[in-house]
Chain A
């Protein structure tokens, strides 16, 4: 772990502990404190990341780990959007208790920063468990029966993952005698036979695949996202499950150096599971009637792209995976927050009961369009570039069938989103949508901001690409 980034972990934890004392009598203060902390962190990390001087010096002035810094930026961004949205979403009559809600979000931000800054599997495991505990409580925030069901499913179905991870770690201790990423990389790069180490790391990898909801292990995702308290599902889908599962998969494929012949079979399985997720997620999303459930299946499909790229394992594919992870956080947060807005103003997120919402909620409709176009990979939005990198990397690496299928299924992505857009926002207004009003402007700030970011990431892609190459590929992958 780099101590330079420790503040991003400690300050939210400190605020989380502060909130129960400071906001004991005035509960609204909890939201203010959480927002201020996250905003300060976000500004701080953005200044480091988007400093124009960086580009001029080819990021040589950047002392920190580039990958961790980028992930911290995304974590703070999504968390800030969610807390800002929730501070207006939680009504006065709500059953949600503000104080523990914001404390839990800040604790999980701290845990996620721990995950992305650590350089050691055991520490990673501990922080992943912190994240599991906090998400469990966050899912049940509004105390609905569905939330409880989702939380219990989330917990029971991701529990075997922890088992695999801890077994893998124990096996790693036996074979390699170390948990640290750097030493493992050295061991794998050396000419020694590394079967035991690859086996141990593959066990850990299996655990993280379960946690990221890749296809044969995806059954918990739709229930957890659908049942969760509405802003929490944006938080879960946008960043929590991505950091607790997908991030680790990318990290492991960097360690295994899949582009050399070493862990060939692991790489093949990873790619196959990624492809399966893309296909199954997209086909299942076509058939959903519940907005949040459809988004959950779409999330599974998009995670498939990341896993596929991580399985390919060439430096270019890994860059694509990292960038797609960032993009996925931006567009999925927008879509889930919009589903929360729909639920609040129309009282339902069932797509058959909604229709013609574009007249009553124009902002929500247009931000959804931006986000879904980016998900489907339409230029010049950010999602296009990450999918392009992934597909080029697949083609270059010789996995031509995978490349073509990935391309085809990005058309299917566009199809199911178009079906959603037509059912919910276009068409004739229904009973539910006639009475609906656009949500308050303050609740639109996070989604509009995110949409601007999606456009900006697409438009300033050369800068992003330079960052990916200089600060991540050159330092972490190679």
Chain B
């Protein structure tokens, strides 16, 4: 129970951070963290396929795409006045969401917990990742390596041009 709550809070915090971050790169990384959190929750509620997809596509691939797109954008100093609206609205939205979560998410997780117990908790995260989708993991590693090399290839050139 506490594990889920912690994961849920972590995911929510990362999601808020993704919206609030001024730096696009950090924002993309926070979004990846949201996906990782979501996939861990899915793993724990006996949805290994959904979790593997979430982890592969959202956390791995989409992040690499975002990061390579961000690396193509030239950084211009703030010419436009930053829109502060979201900073005023955010606490209100977060407060409402937190209250709603207290009422709905906690019982929801408990009921899910029961269903998970009903399904029989056999697949630990490691077992699913390693036994069923062993070669995808290799693909994930290649994606991450590719992402690093893309950044390595594109970022220095952008700096030089500046």
Interface of A toward B, CB cutoff 8 Å: 1, 9-10, 13, 16-17, 20, 95, 97, 99-101, 103-104, 107-108, 110-111, 114, 118, 120, 122-123, 126-127, 129-130, 133-134, 136-137, 140-141, 143, 148, 166, 173
Contacts and interface: CB of A to CB of B under 8 A. Distances in A.
B143 interface: yes
A97 B156 contact: yes
Contacts of A134: 146, 149-150
B57 A166 contact: yes
A199 B130 CA distance: 30
Interface in B131-162: 133, 135-136, 138-143, 145-147, 149-150, 152-154, 156-157
A97 B157 contact: yes
Contacts of B152: 20, 97, 99-100, 103
Interface in B30-76: 49, 56-57, 60-61, 64-65, 68, 72
10 contacts: A9-B138, A13-B141, A16-B149, A95-B157, A99-B152, A100-B150, A122-B133, A123-B133, A126-B60, A136-B68
Contacts of A13: 141-142, 145
Nearest to A169: B53
Contacts of B68: 133, 136-137
B22 to A, nearest CB: 25
Contact of B135 (A120, A141, A143): A120
B138 A17 contact: no
Given A13-B145, A120-B135, A123-B139, A129 B61 contact: yes
A187 B13 CA distance: 45
Interface residues of B, number: 28
Contact of B153 (A17, A110, A137): A137
Nearest to A95: B157
Nearest to B144: A130
Interface of B: 49, 56-57, 60-61, 64-65, 68, 72, 133, 135-136, 138-143, 145-147, 149-150, 152-154, 156-157
Contacts of B142: 13, 107, 110-111, 114, 127, 130
A126 B143 contact: yes
Nearest to A166: B57
A17 B153 CA distance: 14
Closest 5 CB pairs of A and B: A126-B139, A100-B153, A137-B150, A100-B152, A103-B149
A120 B52 CA distance: 14
A239 B157 CA distance: 27
Contact of A104 (B64, B65, B146): B146
Q: Which of B141, B145, B146, B152 has the most CB of A within 10 A?
A: B146
A345 B31 CA distance: 48
Contacts of A10: 138
Contacts of A141: 153
B153 A101 contact: yes
B57 A130 contact: no
Contacts of B141: 13
Nearest to A111: B142
A143 B49 CA distance: 40
A21 B93 CA distance: 47
Nearest to B57: A166
A104 B150 contact: yes
B149 A137 contact: yes
Contacts of B136: 122-123, 126
A50 B61 CA distance: 38
Given A122-B133, A126-B136, A143-B157, 15 more contacts: A13-B145, A97-B152, A100-B150, A100-B153, A104-B153, A114-B135, A114-B142, A123-B135, A123-B136, A127-B139, A130-B142, A134-B149, A140-B153, A148-B72, A166-B57
Given A97-B156, A130-B142, A107 B149 contact: yes
A126 B150 contact: no
Contact of A133 (B64, B135, B140): B64
Nearest to B72: A148
Contacts of B153: 97, 100-101, 104, 137, 140-141
B65 to A, nearest CB: 7
A299 B49 CA distance: 38
B146 A130 contact: yes
A148 B64 CA distance: 18
A72 B149 CA distance: 23
Contacts of B57: 166
Nearest to A170: B53
A10 B133 CA distance: 17
A17 B156 CA distance: 18
Contacts of A97: 152-153, 156-157
Nearest to B49: A173
A130 B147 CA distance: 9
B60 to A, nearest CB: 8
A104 B149 contact: yes
A134 B154 CA distance: 12
B159 to A, nearest CB: 12
